[in-house]
Amino acid sequence: MSEIRKHYFLDEYCIIATERGKRPSDFVSKKIEKPSVSNCVFCAGNEDKTPPSTAVYKKGDILKDTEEELVKDWEVRCIPNLYPAVSTRSVKPVLSGWEVQEGFGFHEVIVESPTHGRTLSSFSDDEIELLMKVYRDRVHYYHFKENIQYVSLFKNWGERAGASLEHIHSQLIALPILPPVLKREQDAIHAADGCPYCNMIEKERKSERMIRENNDFVAIAPYFSKSPFEVWILPKHHVNHLINCTAEMLRSFGEMIRFVLFRYEEILDFPSYNYMFYGIFDDDSYHLNVRCHPILSTPAGFEKNTDIYINTATPEDTAMYLKCE
């Protein structure tokens, strides 16, 4: 079967093209056994092998390394990225006759556990809640820095997802521009009658694509899915940004992310994945969401040529496989 599906509210298309009867195991790739990392810079005890922390979470306190002392026995540790995509130092761009601006911004790594080899699916309720609080704090901190327009928060897990270190971590890049992908959504939302995401949730909740619901969030295999086993997590009640989530919301947000990752591990055998947060703090009309993409296929010539993605798993099957526990 093959269908060209249009996005809920944007001028975007994906192709759902599945061979009949494809099962999750058909997407599982052979893993290469890697030797365990003996000198991982993110592991507890190796604090001196990274730049000094920007924030360290320890027993309810938020601390920071000083020149005299590095904080030990931490729960979550935030550090500047050693190879930042953007820089806090002012460097005048080379004038080429084309539009250019300084590569200004902040690039931070959030080390999510002191212990090597853990995955988020094994986090306790308190651990996942703390992590969500760290996400909110750090995004909040950078959002209000001068000249920052957008803070991108994302996680790459596994080699195929672009993670260069296997110790669990997320990253945050604060930019002086609002990415066009969000600007396009914003324009479409302003032109729409009511919030398109609220509208989508209301309809999808009753559909076969609904995966799970908890106190504040839903997980959906969206009708418009660009990649196999794509999942969107959205607050049931309209909230525009992670910064505006209450403590209770963060708890159920984390619980839902953990559930989705746990199910990925169960049915897809620890696939590499990305998840990304979408929100526009200065615009109440936006609707916060997280998109989870296990890396089960590689965008190639057609996708690059057309920006139309071919997805070989139907969202309807994805929901069916992910929801049964």
Interface with Zn ion by CB under 5 A: which residues?
Answer: 40, 42-43, 116, 167, 195, 197-198, 238, 287
Between 27 and 42, name the residue whose CB sits nearer to Zn ion: 42
Enter the tokens of residue 190.
């302003």
Question: Minimum distance from CB of 167 to Zn ion (Å)?
Answer: 3
Between 16 and 288, name the residue whose CB sits nearer to Zn ion: 288
Between 104 and 197, name the residue whose CB sits nearer to Zn ion: 197
Question: Minimum distance from CB of 79 to Zn ion (Å)?
Answer: 13
Question: Minimum distance from CB of 287 to Zn ion (Å)?
Answer: 4
Q: Which of 10, 11, 14, 12 is nearest to 2 (CA)?
A: 14
Residue 5 in contact with residue 16, Cβ under 8 Å? yes
Question: Minimum distance from CB of 197 to Zn ion (Å)?
Answer: 4
Between 116 and 160, name the residue whose CB sits nearer to Zn ion: 116
Placement of tokens 């250019």 in the chain: 100
Question: Minimum distance from CB of 74 to Zn ion (Å)?
Answer: 13
For the chain, helix, strand, coil in percent to 5 are 30, 20, 50
**How far is residue 253's CA from residue 237's CA, in Å, rounded to a whole number?**
12
Residue 322 in contact with residue 229, Cβ under 8 Å? yes
Q: In Å, how far from its chain's centre is CA 322? A: 18
Between 138 and 287, name the residue whose CB sits nearer to Zn ion: 287
Question: Minimum distance from CB of 300 to Zn ion (Å)?
Answer: 33
Between 117 and 179, name the residue whose CB sits nearer to Zn ion: 117
Helices 315-323 and 247-268 pack at an angle, to 10 degrees, of 100
Q: What is the DSSP string of 11-53?
A: S-EEEEE--TT--GGGGPPPPPP-PPPSS-TTSTT-GGGSSPP
